[in-house]
Structure 1
Amino acid sequence: MQKPKQFDRNLIVIGAGAAGLVSAYIAAAVKAKVTLIEAGEMGGDCLNTGCVPSKALIKCARMAQHAREAGQFGVKLPEPEIDFPSVMAHVRQSIETIEPHDSVERYNGLGVEVLKGYGKLLDPWTVQVTLNDGSEQTLTGRAIVLATGAAPIVPPLPGLDQVGYVTSETLWDRFAKLDRAPERLLVLGGGAIGCELAQAFARLGSSVTLVEKAPRVLPAEDKAVSDAVTEALKRDGVTVQTGTEAQRFDRSTQGGGQAIVRAPEGEQSLPFDQLLLALGRRPRVQGFGLEELGLVEDGRLKTDGYLRTEHSHILAAGDLVGPYQFTHMASHQAWYAAVNGLFGDLKKFRVDYSIVPRAVFVDPEVASVGLTERQAQEQGIAYELTCYELDELDRAIVEGNRRGFVRVLTAKGKDTILGAAIVGENAAELIAEFVMAMKHGLGLNKLLGTIHIYPTMMEANRFAAGDWKRAHAPATALKLLERFHRWRRG
């Protein structure tokens, strides 16, 4: 493998999801010659099968739930009628409205050459592009960014192929053909995707059973968060079975099928009309020439802290490399991949994973940042926990959004924020204040001293800081002040 003496491009990017789009954008912004290769839809999973369609669906489901709960505000409405084809039309329209943001035309206008086709590395510097029209093109790149994303995990369980199933990628096309939401929906997986879609379809009229192998849903979060989400799912009619693992599947003569699962109570049969697999996502590494170059180990791309592979000019970003499969993390990594690819031989930057916010868009929402209580315990970090319940918050009371809390972990005896978790209305927005505070080293005292508009949900953050402050009130100084004021009274 001989390194070329000159290159066709400064940067070649394979994959036009969040990581690839941002990498190409940055390269073009600094006047590098960049080519972006994508065989499928521009925008990747987030736009076409992930964040955008799922949040559009969740909005429809939430509107149905608002209609059911309107009576508590004196507005009496009948049980909402779900026009499922219109729900799926809203999902499609949402994608189509956002599509221009990620389009070929927009990126061409930004100075990015976009090639619609499959890119494969022939050697560390050469990419063969099989264009969608059948022609081929070969390019050399001074640097290459891999942003091929991840695909839903499909377990090798007996009978799975016979019963039919959908994943977070395929359900949109399959369900768009339905006249109504699935009558019986079985969801395998209690992570973010499983919980979000289980609740949404339950609110849209499906009888939903969610199966999770771990002892609780959202196992990466603290138990208090998991318990709150489990309660919300059950309140909306979802049957939640934790500690339960699918063993095999049998096809039903009436259509659909049944899952044979091992539960704490023993073996059970769970019938379904539609089966949704939400068991996580596996990096897409096959078919790009990576294995032939020795860049893949145990199904994963090997990268260092700078997102470089063993060939330092080949980098990766997004779901392909992890460790967090979030769209905002893909965009975050893309900056490092592009900059290290273009300028790494002069100065390189290690990816900062110290403050990574995350959210689950169930109702009430879940958002967190930094350490969980369990992680602090596992790492032997001395901490204090402050919890403010939203049922005490004025805005939450008047809007009927009293379910949830703000939990903050601080260093022992200090106001330094180690982590925060919020369960409640608009939690994904509320967490931003803690993200900002942690990023810039601001403690709870600074947060408490910041004016928050009344009445807002954001006040919950300040009240949590206030609870911490009261717990750390200087007893000796307060006693002296009490004596001082007594003396002043004469």
Structure 2
Amino acid sequence: MARDAAAQETLTPDLCVVGAGSGGLSVAAGAVQMGASVVLVEGGEMGGDCLNYGCVPSKALIAAAKRAHAMGAGAAFGVAPVAPQIDFAAVMAHVQGVIDGIAPHDSQARFEGLGVHVIRDWARFLSPREVAAGGCTIRARRFVIATGSSPAVPPIPGLAETPFLTNETVFALDAPPRRLLILGAGPIGVELGQAFRRLGVEVELIEAGRALGRDDPEATAVVLEALRGEGVEIRQGVRVAAAAAAPEGVRLTLEGGETVEGSHLLVAAGRRPSLDRLDLAAGGVDADADGVTVDAGLRSVSNRRVYAVGDAAGGPAGTLNFTHVAGYHAGVVIRSALLRLPAKARVDHIPRVTYADPELAQVGPTEAEARAALGARVSVARFPFAENDRARAERATAGFVKAIVGPKGRILGATVVGKGAGEQIGLWALAISSGLRIGAVAGMVAPYPTLSEASKRAAGAHFAPKLFGSPWVKRAVRLLAKLG
């Protein structure tokens, strides 16, 4: 059996967590506060991708861009529009300031204060029950792989030799791009594309398939119309044949021979699990391109000492790569690994949001997915923001709420596109998680005037044909009226 020559000390914790992103930190914090001994291993930044390169900096950038956009969008309210003066260095300082404000919560000092043994090094398996890191051999009762994911770089000829940005480097820019080409029009590409456009950058999105291809096409059309209206160029169904450096930046050759040039290239073509350093073969841990092969309880199918959470988990339980999913996975693992209770990771109630303007949020299957599975047993109830009084007052009437309803009124899913969609989708996620039927949402008393009324009205629309279009209901009402 191979051994790291530098490994001198042997640690025997209850739990060894590899990776200090959202999932790993949640497991470590929960476990140690419940009395378990925990070793946490992290070779990169505490807080992982979300804090340092993903959710947090992107939303901070989006917030700055939204302020800039609002300065030129006041005419409808009687406020004279003005051209924003963008101090890009100050914008990026704001982004870094937000990261710095959150970082102490995820810091090594905080977790050591909780009682976690933190090792700042890259971990690798020595055997199915041992990991080496920081000059130590860690022989834990259970291991949790929480290493997250990294940007996927497509095998385009010349791309590896061409300067390009990813979400891990774009927030380090100290000057704005002149013209930003974005390879990929998923959530990352769409969010950053709109943000940079609002900060004065020319932006072109290039997508081999359909932009926001996982989402409801009717909802994505609302988002893409908004982006085009702001001057973002969007190409769909276009493949890049080659990439190369150009005198003033980068040049992409599209299939068919057309070329496009930009000062910068951002690759936002998906994610891949970060497992390369772990030597999973030595640990007897099976994995594929989607992540560690796990069962419904997030436990490795080949090494029962090992769990995987978040982006590192493959299979159905690991198909939704979001920070909130990693946090949810942490609870499943703690229940199983520490409390020895049955636990399975569900996927039907997991919401997802694209933080464009307007936002697009989804939980459960889209309308097309639900109809493909259940056919005529699916009904769709909807309500447009154009008929919501708060949306009218704020002149944010683009979008709608769509509820996907199955047999016996069971809520299967929901799509919300419009202002504050991400804040509304939680209601639908709770309804699905709790097994509520559509009548429960329709019966909710929503404060007036709020955007959340749109969800209530969408649920109510499910009953409208039965209540207001039924001759039997009308006859019953007339009969009851005759009774006095």
- TM-score normalised by length of structure 1: 0.92
**Alignment partners' CA distance in 2, 1:274 and 1:117:** 33
The residue that corresponds to 2:166 in the other structure is 167
Q: Is residue 307 of structure 1 aligned with residue 298 of structure 2? A: yes
**Displacement of 1:306 after TM fit?**
1.5
**Alignment partners' CA distance in 2, 1:417 and 1:383:** 10
Secondary structure of 1:52 counterpart: helix
Q: Is residue 463 of structure 1 aligned with residue 467 of structure 2? A: no
The residue that corresponds to 2:149 in the other structure is 150
Flag structure 2 segments of 5+ consecutive residues without an equivalent.
3-9
**Alignment partners' CA distance in 1, 2:146 and 2:207:** 30
Which has the larger displacement, 389-398 or 335-344? 335-344
Q: 1:387 aligns with which of 382, 390, 408?
A: 382
**Alignment partners' CA distance in 2, 1:44 and 1:226:** 29
The residue that corresponds to 1:183 in the other structure is 178
Pairs within 5 Å for 1:55-94: 55-94=59-98
Give 2:471's aligned amino acid.
Answer: A
In structure 2, relative to structure 1, the CA distance for the partners of 1:475 and 1:172 (3 Å cut) is: same
Pairs within 5 Å for 1:367-446: 367-381=361-375, 382-412=377-407, 414-446=408-440
**Alignment partners' CA distance in 1, 2:422 and 2:444:** 20
**Alignment partners' CA distance in 2, 1:279 and 1:296:** 25
**Alignment partners' CA distance in 1, 2:246 and 2:365:** 46
**Alignment partners' CA distance in 2, 1:379 and 1:7:** 50
Q: Is residue 258 of structure 1 aligned with residue 251 of structure 2? A: yes
Q: Is residue 277 of structure 1 aligned with residue 267 of structure 2? A: yes
Give 1:288's aligned amino acid.
Answer: L
**Alignment partners' CA distance in 1, 2:460 and 2:338:** 47
**Displacement of 1:291 after TM fit?**
2.8
**Alignment partners' CA distance in 1, 2:155 and 2:130:** 35
Q: Is residue 267 of structure 1 aligned with residue 260 of structure 2? A: no
**Displacement of 1:416 after TM fit?**
2.0
Count of residue correspondences: 468
**Alignment partners' CA distance in 1, 2:39 and 2:102:** 22
The residue that corresponds to 2:40 in the other structure is 36
**Displacement of 1:475 after TM fit?**
3.4
Q: Is residue 223 of structure 1 aligned with residue 217 of structure 2? A: yes
- TM-score normalised by length of structure 2: 0.93
**What does the per-residue CA deviation read over 1:378-406, in whole Å, with 9 as the maximum and x for residues that have no partner?**
21342011121101110000111111100
Give 2:56's aligned amino acid.
Answer: V
Give 1:89's aligned amino acid.
Answer: A
The residue that corresponds to 2:6 in the other structure is none
**Displacement of 1:444 after TM fit?**
2.3
**Alignment partners' CA distance in 1, 2:142 and 2:239:** 44
The residue that corresponds to 2:5 in the other structure is none
Give 1:386's aligned amino acid.
Answer: A
Answer yes or no: is the 8 Å Cα contact 2:357–2:418 preserved in 1. Answer: yes
Secondary structure of 1:472 counterpart: helix
Which has the larger displacement, 159-168 or 450-459? 159-168
**Displacement of 1:279 after TM fit?**
0.5
Answer yes or no: is the 8 Å Cα contact 2:363–2:413 preserved in 1. Answer: yes
Secondary structure of 2:356 counterpart: coil
The residue that corresponds to 2:7 in the other structure is none
Question: What do you get for the CA RMSD once the two structures are aligned?
Answer: 1.7
**What does the per-residue CA deviation read over 1:428-474, in whole Å, with 9 as the maximum and x for residues that have no partner?**
11111111222222222222222111110011111112222212215
**What does the per-residue CA deviation read over 1:221-248, in whole Å, with 9 as the maximum and x for residues that have no partner?**
1110121121111111111100001110
**Alignment partners' CA distance in 1, 2:158 and 2:403:** 46
**Alignment partners' CA distance in 2, 1:487 and 1:341:** 65
Answer yes or no: is the 8 Å Cα contact 1:314–1:341 preserved in 2. Answer: no
**Alignment partners' CA distance in 2, 1:37 and 1:362:** 35
**Alignment partners' CA distance in 2, 1:162 and 1:193:** 23
Give 1:94's aligned amino acid.
Answer: V
The residue that corresponds to 1:123 in the other structure is 127
Aligned sequence identity (%): 37
**Alignment partners' CA distance in 1, 2:305 and 2:282:** 17
Q: Is residue 334 of structure 1 aligned with residue 327 of structure 2? A: no
Q: Is residue 316 of structure 1 aligned with residue 320 of structure 2? A: no
**Displacement of 1:251 after TM fit?**
2.0
Answer yes or no: is the 8 Å Cα contact 1:145–1:341 preserved in 2. Answer: no
**Displacement of 1:486 after TM fit?**
5.0
Flag structure 1 segments of 5+ consecutive residues without an equivalent.
131-135
**Displacement of 1:487 after TM fit?**
5.9
Answer yes or no: is the 8 Å Cα contact 1:39–1:117 preserved in 2. Answer: yes
Give 2:260's aligned amino acid.
Answer: L
**Alignment partners' CA distance in 2, 1:40 and 1:399:** 43
Give 1:277's aligned amino acid.
Answer: V
The residue that corresponds to 1:472 in the other structure is 466
Answer yes or no: is the 8 Å Cα contact 1:67–1:77 preserved in 2. Answer: yes
Answer yes or no: is the 8 Å Cα contact 1:24–1:338 preserved in 2. Answer: no
**Displacement of 1:367 after TM fit?**
0.7
**Displacement of 1:7 after TM fit?**
6.8
The residue that corresponds to 1:133 in the other structure is none
Q: Is residue 111 of structure 1 aligned with residue 123 of structure 2? A: no
Q: Is residue 350 of structure 1 aligned with residue 344 of structure 2? A: yes
Answer yes or no: is the 8 Å Cα contact 2:202–2:232 preserved in 1. Answer: yes
Secondary structure of 2:83 counterpart: coil
The residue that corresponds to 2:140 in the other structure is 141
Q: 1:233 aligns with which of 216, 227, 231?
A: 227
Which has the larger displacement, 291-300 or 449-458? 291-300
**Displacement of 1:294 after TM fit?**
4.0
**What does the per-residue CA deviation read over 1:159-193, in whole Å, with 9 as the maximum and x for residues that have no partner?**
223330000111112x1x21xx2111000111110
Give 1:257's aligned amino acid.
Answer: V
Give 1:15's aligned amino acid.
Answer: G
The residue that corresponds to 2:481 in the other structure is 485
- Which runs of at least 4 in structure 1 moved beyond 4 Å after TM superposition? none
